[in-house]
Amino acid sequence: MNLYIGSDHAGYRLKQKILAVWDTETDFKLVDCGTFDESSVDYPDIAFKVAERVKADSALGILICGTGLGMSIAANKVDGIRAALCSEPLSARLAREHNDANILVLGARIIGTLLALETVRVFVNSGFAGDRHEKRIEKIACIEIMMKQGE
Ligand code: RB5
């Protein structure tokens, strides 16, 4: 499965670290959606790029900016995207199990590198628990439909 990863300039170094240490033997193939250097870029552009690919591919993604806030706000504008800003592994596991999060968002200026790597590892190795959480995810999708009908 493809795992799309993107960052702005503030998240660039953490993105490169994740790419550098990624175990190529895992089921997830990391696909780098940029940015490709530390020049200033606008996080919504990268958030949209990753979110669209995650949606089209029913895949998972990782987004990184300074705080993780801008990327979260932008990615969650895309229907079908459930982007979760997590700063430790427990939240990352529960974001998958309870919220069926399909994008993990990290704040490179908030979280240390080792904690970020462990948070990513736990996120990709966790899965949606379904059951009572199913109808809540369906209600999120209903909100998206209702918002469109109101347009
Ligand atoms: C860039 O300076 C910074 O604003 C951005 O990376 C992010 O933290 C926004 O939420």
Q: What does the pLDDT look like over 56-68, one tens digit per residue? A: 999 999 999 999 9
Residue pLDDT, tens place only, 126-145: 999 999 999 999 999 999 99
Q: How far is the CA of 114 from the centre of ligand 1 (A)?
A: 21
pLDDT over threshold 80, residue 40: yes
Nearest CA to ligand 1 atom 9: 70
| 80, 148 Cβ separation under 8 angstroms | no
Measured in Å, residue 43 CA sits from the centre of ligand 1 at 7
Task: At 98, give phi and psi (nearest 5°).
Answer: -95, -40
> Domains plus CATH for the chain?
2-149 (3.40.1400.10)
34: left (phi over 0), alpha (psi -120 to 50) or beta: left
71, 72, 110: residue to mutate for ligand 1 pocket, most atoms within 8 A of CB: 71
Binding-site residues, ligand 1, Cβ < 6 A: 8, 10, 43, 65-67, 69-70
pLDDT above 80: residue 151: no
pLDDT of residue 131: 94
Separation of alpha carbons 67 and 44, rounded Å: 14
This model's pTM is above 0.85: yes
pLDDT at site 25: 86
How far apart are the CA of 60 and the centre of ligand 1, in A?
22
Residue 16, pLDDT score = 98
CA triplet 74, 79, 83: central angle to 5 degrees?
Answer: 50
CA distance 70 to 129: 28
Single-letter amino acid code for the residue at 56: A
Contact assessment for residue 14 and residue 116, using Cβ atoms and an 8 Å cutoff: yes
Residue 24: the pLDDT is 85
| Residue in the structure block whose two tokens are 């606008």 | 42
- Atom 10 of ligand 1: nearest residue by CA position: 70
CA–CA gap between residue 84 and residue 123 (Å, rounded): 10
